[in-house]
Amino acid sequence: MGQLRLMQILGVVVLFALLLLSTAYGTTSIPTMDVVQAVLLGTGLVEGDMSPLHRIVYDLRLPRAIFAAVIGAGLGIVGVVLQTTTRNDLADPFLFGLSSGAAAGAVFVITVTGDILGLWTLPLAAFCGGLTASGIVLALVHGLRTSAPEKLILAGLAVSFLFAAITNYLIFAGDSRAAHSVIFWMLGGLGLARWEAFPLVSLGLVLILAYTLIRSRWLDALLTGDLTASTLGVPVRRLRLSMFFAAALATAVFVSVAGVIGFIGLMVPHIARGIAGPLHRQLIPTAALVGAALLTGSDILSRLLLTPQELPVGIVTTSIGSIFVFLLLYKTSGTRNRTS
């Protein structure tokens, strides 16, 4: 436990350093003292007028850095939930149609309706799309009268393909001038990070974090199998469906603001288990820290690799994720060869 606590403290330090780097560095570097002064002025801790440089820090870079940490933490926890409840080490929001549903909603707004509700049009459309996809998955599972992991995965895959087809149709049939915006949003980005949307994003993180910590013992029981968990008094079917709904709701919130950011929910649980072990009371906070640091660092890279252009952060996370999957497959193959 002492070693785990030390690792978590180190993770907090690394995350704080990444947040500072994300705020200070970009197409134009800003001195650290100016960053600190902008934060103090923006939060009202000191009095004075904010210069244009301070406005760039407080209104653009700081919310972007904080959003990256919050969304990364949330997606990391969602990955833990989905992998535990389905007993599938490759489960993540992509596998269940959550991301594709949100993408379809956002693309519909970009290519068809436009910003009819102003700034909130895109987040609301993505949110509704994600919830619709999750609702269809839950309805399919309920109609089959089962919550078996393999049925949940198959239902999610079917819904994911359905909404992917809808998205591609909208891109093909919609306004071609919006194609660049569609592609950038589908690959993920934090350009929409504004303080006005912070309550929504923080609500998504608080929801999934609080609910998983409350049900951490039940999640631990699921690791032993459905039959054993049932004998321990865990309502397995209700837990699996409620966890999926909480994960869907949180994912819809995150995707509605940042677009489709891949592989965070897949990588983070594996890294966190290597640090904290499989028990969820320690695993969930560790996954939140790892996810926050991973997405914050990826966002820094996305702004620096093609300066002065900005690379969609999903390209960075997908590149890292592909390498991670190769290493995971190699490790699994090596373990099997040693045991055979």
Torsion from C-alpha of 65, 71, 74, 80, nearest 10 degrees: -100
Question: Which CB contacts under 8 angstroms, 24+ apart, belong to 25-31?
Answer: 25/300, 25/303, 25/304, 26/61, 26/303, 26/304, 27/303, 27/307, 27/308, 30/56, 30/57, 30/61
174 CA to centre of own chain: 28
Residues in the chain: 340
In order along its 340 residues, the chain shows pLDDT tens digits of: 578 888 889 999 999 999 999 998 877 788 888 888 888 888 877 887 888 888 888 888 999 999 999 999 999 999 999 899 888 887 887 777 777 888 888 888 888 877 776 667 777 787 788 888 878 887 887 776 665 667 777 888 888 888 889 888 888 876 666 676 777 777 888 877 888 889 889 999 999 999 999 999 999 999 988 889 899 889 988 898 889 888 888 888 888 888 888 889 999 999 999 999 999 999 999 999 999 999 999 999 998 888 778 888 989 998 998 888 888 777 766 655 555 5
Is the sign of the CA dihedral 88, 149, 252, 174 positive or negative?
positive
Torsion from C-alpha of 173, 174, 177, 183, nearest 10 degrees: -90
Which tokens hold the place of 201? 């994003």
The C-alpha atoms of residue 4 and residue 1 are separated, in whole angstroms, by 5
The pTM of the full predicted model, rounded to 2 decimals, is 0.88
DSSP 255-288: HHHH----SHHHHHHHHHHHHH-S-HHHHHHHHH
The C-alpha atoms of residue 122 and residue 246 are separated, in whole angstroms, by 21
Q: State the maximum Cα–Cα separation within the chain, in Å, rounded to a whole number.
A: 70
The C-alpha atoms of residue 52 and residue 54 are separated, in whole angstroms, by 5
What residue segments make up the domains of the chain, in order of their start? 2-339
Check residue 252 and give its pLDDT: 81
Check residue 258 and give its pLDDT: 87
**Whole-Å CA distances, 131 to 95, 126, 159, 245, 247:** 15, 9, 12, 9, 10
Check residue 77 and give its pLDDT: 96
The C-alpha atoms of residue 39 and residue 273 are separated, in whole angstroms, by 35
Q: Is 309 exposed, middle or buried (0-12, 13-18, 19+ CB in 10 A)?
A: exposed
The C-alpha atoms of residue 69 and residue 294 are separated, in whole angstroms, by 8
Check residue 298 and give its pLDDT: 94
Check residue 40 and give its pLDDT: 84
What is the amino acid identity at position 103?
A: A
Q: Choose among 296, 340, 331: nearest CA to 316.
A: 296
The C-alpha atoms of residue 90 and residue 265 are separated, in whole angstroms, by 9
Check residue 117 and give its pLDDT: 66
Q: Which CATH number does 2-339 carry?
A: 1.10.3470.10
DSSP 71-93: HHHHHHHHHHHHHHHHT-TT--G
